[in-house]
A = this chain, B = another copy of it.
Amino acid sequence: MVGQRFVSLLQDHPRFDLVAAYASDRSEGRTVSATWRLHDAPLYDGVGELVLREGSLGNLRADRLDLVFSALPAAVAKDLEAAIAAAGIPVFSNASSHRMESRVPLLIPEVNPEHLSLLDGSGRGFLVTNPNCTTTGLALVLHALGRAVRFRRVFVATYQALSGAGFDGPSGIDVSGNVLPHIASEEEKVFAEPRKILGQLGDGGVVPADISVYAHCARVPVRDGHLEAVTVECDDAPDLTAVERALATFTAIPQSKSLPTAPTAPILVRTEPDRPQPLLDVNAGTPARARGMAVTVGRLRSDDHVLRLYLLVHNTIRGGAGGSLLNAELADALGYLG
């Protein structure tokens, strides 16, 4: 799923040319078009005819790639991504395998662009990761929120889309008209990853932020878009107007540098009583190239020190391929791609 989103986003990218696509044994030798299952993203002429190749290190080297985007399963990513990087090819990965390593940036360009400096001195072959889909939306909003309130504890419950489990996710008979209250390792990632992303650079890498995110992660019968019910325990009673302004006006380097896939506003605040909704808001983001890159926040409300809101993130765009692509655009803009 994320792999196909990479293809979709790269097929007309102004900076990066899609020259090859690699797949598992199951799809190797088939065209991109024959395997295509993204209902809302058409393929352009030429790209559909691209034949999927075996994702071996040998093939990748032979293709003389300038960089690689990875949507590998974690089990495969561990060694293969390390080998690709060791071969001098930068890897921008959506896989979880290397996210928590001390010299690997876990990056959201609007949140912790300075973490790219973890790569300084590492040579041309390096690894940059983007967070788990759920974490991405949450960390982006928490970072912007930090401009208006101080907090150390966050409670979140998720309504996660089927696409997050890929094409071989739960069967229709199990998820139709149902909720599955468990997603393997998800709650652990949502606890650990924000600590690194929101952490400060120190001598030995990133010093984790002192923040605890207690999550409940569940799968709902929705196609795309992770909705998150977020409760923030603030140090002081929050000023809702300030909070809303902090979120709605938030911009960062991707916006100031006009990175191709950066949304004009990374966070959209809706004031209707019943938004965000996955169906209506999942593709938020302008310009057209940034559809699915904006996180939508709604139902902001506070009660004493407790701040509540819903947020929605496109799990395979901002929380997947689009996030990884924006990381590469940032690395490119900051000179890391040579």
Residues of A that sit less than 8 Å from B by CB: 1, 37, 39-40, 42, 155, 157, 159, 162-163, 165-182, 214, 216, 218, 220-223, 227, 229, 231, 273-280, 282-283, 286, 288, 291, 298-299, 303, 306, 308, 310
Q: Which residues of B contact A220 (CB under 8 A)?
A: 159, 179, 220-221
- Complex: A165 Cα to B223 Cα, angstroms: 21
Stoichiometry, as copies per complex, reads 4
Provide the bound-state CA to CA distance between A173 and B169, in Å.
Answer: 7
Whether A172 contacts B181 by the Cβ 8 Å rule is: no
Select from chain B the residue with minimum beta-carbon distance to A306: B214
B176 close to A221 (CB less than 8 A):
yes
26 contacts between A and B (CB under 8 A): A37-B174, A37-B280, A39-B279, A155-B231, A157-B157, A159-B220, A162-B173, A165-B173, A167-B173, A168-B171, A172-B221, A173-B223, A175-B176, A176-B176, A176-B223, A177-B279, A178-B222, A179-B277, A180-B274, A181-B227, A181-B229, A181-B274, A181-B275, A182-B273, A214-B231, A214-B306
- Whether A216 touches B157, Cβ cut-off 8 Å, given contacts A42-B283, A171-B172, A178-B222, is yes
Given contacts A159-B159, A170-B171, A180-B274, 12 further A-B contacts (CB under 8 A): A37-B174, A155-B155, A162-B171, A169-B172, A172-B172, A172-B221, A177-B221, A179-B227, A181-B275, A181-B298, A214-B308, A218-B310
Set B42, B169, B275: member contacting A291, Cβ < 8 A: B42
Indicate if the CB atoms of A274 and B182 lie closer than 8 Å: yes
**Are A299 and B181 in touch, CB under 8 angstroms?**
yes
Alpha-carbon separation in the docked complex, A251 to B218 (Å): 29
Q: How far is the CA of A167 from the CA of B276 in the complex (A)?
A: 18
Chain B residues contacting A299 (CB-CB under 8 Å) are 181-182, 216
* B155/A163 in contact, CB under 8 A: no
Residues of B within 8 A of A175 (CB): 172, 176
A113–B216 Cα distance when bound, in Å, is 32
User: Given the complex, which residues of B lie within 8 Å of A180, measured CB to CB?
Assistant: 274, 277
Tell me the bound Cα distance from A227 to B227 in angstroms.
16
Residue of B nearest to A288 (CB): B42
Docked complex Cα distance between A232 and B303 (Å): 17
**CA of A279 to CA of B41, assembled, Å:** 11
